[in-house]
Amino acid sequence: MQGLLFSGHDTLELATKYGTPLYVMSEDIILERIRGLKNAFEKTGANYEINFAGKAFTNKAMCKIIKNEGICLDAVSKGELMTALAVGFPPENISFHGNNKKESELRYALEHHIGHIMVDNEDELSLIDKLTKEMNTEIEISFRISPGISAHTHELIQTATEDSKFGLPYALAEDIVVRADQYEKISVVGLHCHIGSQIVDDEPFVLAAKKMMSLYKKIKDRGVALRMLNLGGGFGIPYLTGDEYFDPVTYIPQMVKRIRDLCDDFEMDMPTLIVEPGRYFTAEAGVTLYTIGAVKEIPGIKTYVTVDGGMNDNPRPALYGAEYEAYVCNPKDHEDFKPYAVSGKACETDGLIEKVNLNQPKVGDILMIPNTGAYNYTMASNYNRYPRPAVVLLSGKRDGIIVRRETDEDVLRYDEIPEWL
């Protein structure tokens, strides 16, 4: 009998073919999201760029997808840069982010002609100045600014309050940016802010846009040839049925109009507008499949459903209380939904879902947790020395591995024993 479908594919067949735990990604959903956002921008007539926030889901296949769609990449490490370049991603379409870039990483970026560096602090600026002179190369930069906006999201994923490790403090930014424009081989072309993740209200975005445009105007008036304004990402998605969510396709024309009105008031040309979606493109495009290994009832308290994964492949519930739904993929003769707690097999409390109604879960059934396409794979670990899951990509009627399952030998491969043992 057919199991639960995801993106037109039978989840039971996928679990049988590839094993569990298994990350499953839908290229069709990713493309729908990318093209919808591009279309929203195109209708406004504004100059724009879409930078995929690679930290959400980076591997060679994903870099190929965004390359084929003609959008840009926001990378935050040498590893992400290498992954993109390995599939022929145009280096001029990559922006290198991060709050503590190593000299070796910056040198790699300059050697490979990465198009843009997002500068976080003055020490990094000095290092870039030194390297560009030493290597006799030029680079375009923007500055990440912390505009002092408290986004309505979990405190651990707010990134633009006054007390933030990211970016220049808003009150100090103007003078620093103007001074940076005097560096010999550095061109300051833009400003950037990112106020947080999983935001479902447009008010913080509007406040950030107003503050950033005010700063942009002041810096332009002091002779810096800015031409780009990057308003980041953080667009929230509905993890649970009925959750609020943020629809950037609706928001983009409103954002463009607000920026255009401000430019008219300032008698200033409209900048190229940039956004950095990550979760919005991939979260709902992914599910994780598990095999149920035990159903344990504690009378009068709760019943646990234990699966063959856990915080190793999804640390988000442990990190900041992320919530998920779950579904039994196996067909049942009738409906008999009861509350269960879904837990993993790691040696921790390891609760994936505190309470969810499931239909007759049994040992050996396949359990699907949706909306796991962002951060789950990229945050996965080998805790308890468990191998990391495989990643499968669905496209139309096709399915194929894009990241192979780690083996037990992979877990041991980097171990060394000193000569004295």
Residues 6+ apart with CB under 8 A from 383: 311, 312, 346
- Rounded to whole angstroms, how far apart are CA atoms 169 and 348? 38
Q: How do the pLDDT tens digits run along the chain, 421 residues long?
A: 789 999 999 999 999 999 999 999 999 999 999 999 999 999 999 999 999 999 999 999 999 999 999 999 999 999 999 999 999 999 999 999 999 999 999 999 999 999 999 999 999 999 999 999 999 999 999 999 998 776 444 344 344 445 678 889 999 999 999 999 999 999 999 999 988 777 777 777 788 888 999 999 999 999 999 999 999 888 888 999 998 888 888 888 988 999 999 999 999 999 999 999 999 999 999 999 999 999 999 999 999 999 999 999 999 999 989 999 999 999 999 999 999 999 999 988 889 999 999 999 999 999 999 999 999 999 999 999 999 999 999 999 999 999 999 999 999 999 999 999 9
Each residue's pLDDT tens digit, 184-195? 999 999 999 988
What dihedral do alpha carbons 144, 146, 149, 154 form, nearest 10°?
A: 80
Q: Which residues of the chain form CATH 2.40.37.10? A: 5-21+286-372+389-408
Q: Which residues of the chain form CATH 3.20.20.10? A: 27-282
Which of these is catalytic: 193, 263, 329, 347?
347
Identify the CATH number of the domain defined by range 27-282: 3.20.20.10
Residue (of 14, 58, 54) closest to 401 by Cα position: 14
pTM of the model as a whole: 0.94
CB 173 within 8 A of CB 147: no
Our answer to whether residue 63 is catalytic in this structure is no
Continuous segment of H or E residues that includes residue 42:
helix 27-44
Residue 153's pLDDT is what? Answer: 42
- Rounded to whole angstroms, how far apart are CA atoms 66 and 114? 16
Written as six digits, the tokens of 215 are 């700063």
- CA dist 200 → 39, 64, 237, 313 (Å): 21, 29, 8, 25
Residues 6+ apart with CB under 8 A from 244: 200, 201, 236, 238
| DSSP state at residue 383 | G
Residue 150's pLDDT is what? Answer: 60
Residues 6+ apart with CB under 8 A from 415: none
- Rounded to whole angstroms, how far apart are CA atoms 100 and 121? 9
- Rounded to whole angstroms, how far apart are CA atoms 92 and 292? 46
Identify the CATH number of the domain defined by range 5-21+286-372+389-408: 2.40.37.10
